[in-house]
Amino acid sequence: MKKQDKMRNKVFGILFVFALMSTAVLTIAQTNVKSATQLARVKYNGGGDWYNDPSAEVNLLRHVGQNTNIKVNPTYVYVDLASDNLFLYPLIFLTGHGNLNFSEAEVIKLRAYLQNGGFLYIDDDYGLDKYIRKEMKKIFPNQEFAELPFSHGIYSAHYKFPNGLPKIHKHDDKVPQGYGLYHNKRMCVYYTFECNLADGWTDADIHNDSEKIRENSLKMGTNIIVWALTH
């Protein structure tokens, strides 16, 4: 076989794999919306504590199940971005305090996931910001995180937040901000900074937040899930 033919076959093979990935994301995402929704934690390399506060997603999903018509499976699950299991979840969640580093394989799969129906929510747990901005440039090199106006639909998807994100933890005592990344005008990544929304989802005795703070956090988390599943 000629070298040119081998290269052509390799390219076709890669395109075929991506086509399968695309079909898997769209089909499974639609199925999960109709059945039980999970929010899979992203496992990443680089040293950051991707695994912290595992009660967060469980409590949020319970709240979603009790206050919306969305059927949920409130269990803690995590997903490796290099694994094909990524395409089993229409929603994934990334958090932590420190460094992360996406491999080439993770970049390829995460980009395919996001461009074909998947949704990533990122919450800076304090110290993640400079790393996540760098790594997400690998996914969408021609984009910067765009700050969402308070009028964006994610702030009224189920509960009303006319002033944008609630402030959960102090951090540097700055105003909380929400950012998006897009593919074909669809927001496929939502990133919260100076907010630490997910800390408010955890069991009450973890961070000792007030009931009001925890309620606001769970309500905004519900908005994220409703928005992701309906857009």
For each of the chain's 231 residues, which pLDDT tens digit applies? Answer: 555 554 444 444 444 444 445 444 444 444 444 579 999 999 999 999 999 999 999 999 999 999 999 999 999 999 999 999 999 999 999 999 999 999 999 999 999 999 999 999 999 999 999 999 999 999 999 999 999 999 999 999 999 999 999 999 988 999 999 999 999 999 999 999 999 999 999 999 999 999 999 999 999 999 999 999 999
Taking the model in full, what pTM does it have?
Answer: 0.86
Predicted pLDDT of residue 12: 44
Closest to 122 measured CA to CA, from 102, 92, 153, 147: 92
Predicted pLDDT of residue 97: 93
Closest to 181 measured CA to CA, from 172, 173, 191, 170: 191
Q: Where are the domains of the chain?
A: 3-230
Closest to 60 measured CA to CA, from 41, 88, 45: 41
Closest to 200 measured CA to CA, from 220, 180, 176, 227: 220
May I ask the CATH class of domain 3-230?
Answer: alpha beta
Predicted pLDDT of residue 117: 96
Predicted pLDDT of residue 17: 46
Predicted pLDDT of residue 35: 73
Angle at 169 (CA atoms; ends 91, 213), nearest 5 degrees: 80
Quote the CA–CA distance of 202 and 207 in Å, as a whole number. Answer: 8
